[in-house]
């Protein structure tokens, strides 16, 4: 059952979620050098994360559709094997934006995987080095602005 938020007032809401993807160092080097055949995984992941946040209620069955006022997805190289995605979602709504931030981060990470999977497979077509991990809500705010 969807939670009834009819009586709740609209207030400023913000949530940030993060996650990481572990890749082969050779793959991270290809990303940094702009040599990934499918294009720039960082740029595409940012766009995919924004689109995902906007479509969260289509993916999570009981999630309320809310008026998103801003989505920011940042992707950065952490070390020779790791990229980190941080997604922040803002709204003035009756319910929070944690799910939108989590979905944005998750889809951005999956997009990176999709764009580099060619370089991550071993000789048997498996992914022994590739790992998405640590997807979590870093912070959330209610009220304020």
| 103/82 Cα distance (integer angstroms) | 20
Which listed residue (74, 79, 114, 122) is catalytic? 114
Burial class (CB in 10 A: 0-12, 13-18, 19+), 69: middle
| CB 134, CB 19: distance < 8 Å | yes
In the residue annotation, 79 being an active-site residue is answered as no
Catalytic residues, by residue number, are: 114
């Amino acid at each position: 059952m969807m939670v009834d938020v009819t009586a709740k007032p609209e207030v400023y809401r913000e949530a940030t979620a993060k996650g990481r993807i572990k890749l082969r160092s050779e793959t991270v080097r290809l990303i940094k050098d702009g040599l990934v055949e499918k294009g720039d995984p960082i740029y595409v992941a940012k766009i995919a994360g924004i689109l995902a946040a906007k479509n969260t209620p289509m993916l999570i069955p009981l999630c309320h559709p809310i008026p998103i006022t801003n989505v920011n997805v940042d992707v950065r190289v952490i070390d020779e094997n790791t990229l980190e995605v941080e997604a922040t979602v803002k709204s003035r709504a009756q319910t929070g934006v944690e799910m939108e931030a989590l979905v944005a981060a998750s889809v951005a990470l999956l997009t990176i995987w999709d764009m580099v999977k060619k370089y991550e497979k071993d000789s048997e077509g498996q992914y022994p080095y590739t790992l998405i991990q640590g997807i979590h809500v870093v912070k959330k705010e209610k009220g304020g602005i």
